[in-house]
Amino acid sequence: MPNHPGSWSPVGPAWSTSDLQAARGIYDRLMVRDENDQPVPELLDRITPNATFTAWTLELRKGVTFSDGTPLNATVVAANLNLQRLSPDASTLLAPVIFVTAPSEFTVVVATAEPWSTFPEVLTTKVGAIATVSTLTGEAATPIGTGPFVFGGYSFDGSLWLNRNPTYWKKGLPHLDSVRLIVMPDANDRVNAVLDGSVDMVAVDQPRQLTRLEEATKSNDSTVLHEDRNAEKPKVSVAFNTGRPPFDRITARRAFAMATDRTAILTQAFDGQGIISRGIISDTSPWFSDHSAPARDLEGAKKQVAEYVVETGQSVSAQMLVPPDVTLTRVATMLRVQLAEAGIDLTLIPVDPSMMVEATTSGQYQSALGLGFTAAHPDAYAPLFAGSPAEQPAVSPNITRYVNTIVTKAFTDARTTRDVTRQVDDYRIIQEQLFVDVPMVFIVQTRQVIATSRSVRDLTKWSSGSGATGLGQDEATISLAQIWKS
């Protein structure tokens, strides 16, 4: 893994890929995604809405226990969901929830102030990961879940052990006695380790290492590459603070977008690994609506810059926050050169992840380069565009401070129906409006590959508690219970 798990608690900060992979060994979720990327019950037996989608009845699977022997019941699940409502990471998303109750031992009722037909999607995320209450409150010495493995502690070399849960509720699983999670921050080291056989599995998204892996597997069949090309992929994007100059004006945002040469960035910074990003949703998604990212228009960018100068009497000059990532640093450097050709002066400001979060959520920035937008369902993005046009809270997940009533209405309308055709149209409206108003620029859709030794079996072949075939990859993570070695 690239780093140690930073948070074991489902109600803690957002999970990185390393956090999520480790958590998939310890915790189960109320719902998971099937091979068609649809939510299906896992710890739930069934989930049922009322006629207006303002109340959801969650019926739990019986006979499930936590690894410490305590039973999974409605009281524990209701406590998990109520603590999620208070967590900084999920509170905005769960704002429509007005109460969560446990009317019987295995029944939980979630009531919302407005229709939310897509609520089951939420339960496939970190919100649906269930832990003991003592884990959530920090009283437990180690994380406790219902998952296939239990926390086994750290070795002298810093590696983390997950040991088989002997009371796991899925009979016959897990196959492995233990899993050792080794931290290797450098992608080159991770690739070396899987190629020389010192580790069995690594996740890689660094472009040049992906190219190296592909070349290596052409001549050596001991390593296998796995990639779910239909899964939602991370996107490199630049967010604009539309509440502060210069990007409070659409001329500056359009100039930035027109001056950006996505093809050059994909070719040079990403070694051709990935594709040009065409918006907030991956083009393999059923929710995708094609508003193709235009080719670079340098002359058009210069005209937008000239209009900005006429409007404000100022040149277009801005700072861009850049996270500590080798590839993103290359992207930032290329953007600075490309924008300079259009008359835009871009200053790069390196920041660590915590400073990035603080600056963007508080609106104390002009533009920010980042990697994200991996939600399987567009409903998860509603908080990113929420608020009142006239007023924004001091701290908000809406980092662009962009609010458009058309976008707000489309998100709301999509939650009033289960008619996929209507929802597709609502999300088309959102993508179209974002394309027009440019609160952010999408540049490249990246690749996430899992490389394994050939002895690792059934890496992406697993079944949910409901019997459905599970989604092979969730970002760059996989289910651990079904894996075995030959």
50-76 pLDDT, tens digit per residue, is 999 999 999 999 999 999 999 999 999
Mean pLDDT of the region 310-317: 98
Task: Provide the β-strand partners of residue 157.
Answer: none
Pairing relationship of beta strands 317-322 and 367-372 according to DSSP bridges? parallel
For 245, which DSSP code?
A: T
- Of 289, 264, 260, whose CA–CA distance to 435 is shortest? 289
**Residue 223: left if φ>0, alpha if ψ -120 to 50, beta else—which one?**
beta
Instruction: Look at the domain 235-445 and name its fold.
Output: Dipeptide-binding Protein; domain 3 (3.10.105)
What is the domain partition of the chain in residue ranges? Answer: 235-445
Does residue 388 carry a pLDDT above 80? Answer: no
**Residue 203: left if φ>0, alpha if ψ -120 to 50, beta else—which one?**
beta
137-147 pLDDT, tens digit per residue, is 999 999 999 99
For 463, which DSSP code?
A: B
23-47 pLDDT, tens digit per residue, is 999 999 999 999 988 999 999 999 9
Does residue 292 carry a pLDDT above 80? Answer: no
Question: Cα–Cα distance between 55 and 107 in angstroms, integer?
Answer: 13
For 300, which DSSP code?
A: H
Mean pLDDT of the region 248-259: 98
pLDDT at 221: 86
Task: Provide the β-strand partners of residue 149.
Answer: 164
Question: Cα–Cα distance between 115 and 416 in angstroms, integer?
Answer: 5
pLDDT at 182: 95
pLDDT at 390: 60
CA count, 13 A, side-chain hemisphere, 233: 26
Pairing relationship of beta strands 440-445 and 275-276 according to DSSP bridges? antiparallel
Question: Cα–Cα distance between 404 and 386 in angstroms, integer?
Answer: 9
Percentage above 90 pLDDT, the chain: 88
Pairing relationship of beta strands 345-350 and 160-164 according to DSSP bridges? unpaired
pLDDT at 389: 62
Question: Cα–Cα distance between 27 and 344 in angstroms, integer?
Answer: 48
Q: Which residues contact 268 (CB under 8 A, 6 or more apart)?
A: 330, 334
**pTM of the entire structure?**
0.93
- DSSP states of 312-379 as a string? HSS--EEEEEE-S-HHHHHHHHHHHHHHHTTT-EEEEEE--HHHHHHHHHTT--SEEEEEE---SSGG
352-377 pLDDT, tens digit per residue, is 999 999 999 999 999 999 999 999 99
**Mean pLDDT, the chain, integer:** 95
Q: Which residue has the tokens 């030794």?
A: 453
